Amino acid sequence: METLPLQLEPGQDLHSTLAELAAQQQLSGFVLGVVGNLSQACFRCPGQQQPTLMQGELEVITLNGTFSPSGVHLHLSLSDGACQVWGGHLEPGTVVLKGAQLLLGLSGLPVAPTSQKPVQEPVHVSERVELAVLPGCPWSLRARQLLERLTIAHRLETVETDERFEFWRQRSGMKTFPQVYVDGELVGGYDDLAELSLQPWFRALGQSTAGSMRAL
Q: Give me the domains of the chain, ranges plus CATH numbers.
A: 2-106 (3.30.1330.80), 129-215 (3.40.30.10)
The predicted model scores a pTM of 0.52
Is it the case that residue 209 has pLDDT exceeding 50?
no
Average pLDDT over residues 188-212: 79
Q: Cα–Cα–Cα angle for 42, 47, 53, nearest 5°?
A: 15
Q: What is the pLDDT of residue 123?
A: 39
* Beta strands 2-8; 29-44: pairing state: unpaired
> What's the whole-number average pLDDT of the chain?
84
Burial-class residue 163 by CB neighbours within 10 Å (0-12, 13-18, 19+): exposed
How does pLDDT run across 53-86, given as a tens digit for each residue?
999 999 999 999 999 888 899 999 999 999 999 9
Q: Report the chain's terminal Cα–Cα distance, integer Å.
A: 32
Strands (E), the chain: 2-8, 29-44, 52-68, 71-79, 85-90, 95-106, 129-133, 154-158, 179-182, 185-188, 214-215
Q: Measure the CA–CA gap between 161 and 176, rounded to whole angstroms.
A: 15
How does pLDDT run across 11-28, given as a tens digit for each residue?
999 999 999 988 888 888
Q: Is the N-terminal amide bond of 178 cis, ω within 30° of 0?
A: yes
Q: How confident is the model at residue 4 (pLDDT cuts 50, 70, 90)?
A: confident
Least confident of 110-114, 134-138, 173-177: 110-114
How does pLDDT run across 153-170, given as a tens digit for each residue?
899 999 999 889 999 999
Q: How confident is the model at residue 47 (pLDDT cuts 50, 70, 90)?
A: confident
- Tell me which of 213 and 51 has the higher pLDDT: 51
Q: Measure the CA–CA gap between 38 and 95, rounded to whole angstroms.
A: 6
